[in-house]
Amino acid sequence: PIGRAPSHLIAAVAETATGGYFPDLMQEFGRFLVITGIVMVVVGLLVWSGFGKGWLGRLPGDIHYTKGNFSFYFPIVTCLIISAILTLLFWLFRK
């Protein structure tokens, strides 16, 4: 088709632009996707099984305000713990 570059030309340009590391980049991206998928499946199974139902989101420091028919809830400590766990996991699985 007119206006489209052949695929081998696109691959050559991508390899030149990345300094020849295009296959390595794709391999790392694939590894990242697999690890992210596994983490999502594990977290999904834990949530589905009811893990943390009694305490997750009700930690000391989580903000919960109720007045009349208005309720505000912000689980800041829960978010910090989840962020720390995810940071640790990503740090462990990085290259």
Whether the predicted model's global pTM rises above the 0.75 cut: no
What pLDDT does residue 41 have? 92
Using the predicted structure, report yes or no on whether residue 7 has a pLDDT greater than 90: no
User: How far lies 94's CA from each of 21, 32, 53, in Å?
Assistant: 18, 9, 31
Torsion over CA: 40, 24, 13, 19 (sign): positive
Kindly state the helix (H) or strand (E) to which residue 11 belongs, with its residue range. Answer: helix 7-17
pLDDT at 44 exceeding the cut of 80: yes
Q: Average pLDDT, whole number, for the chain? A: 79
For 45-62, the pLDDT digits (tens) are: 887 888 777 777 788 888
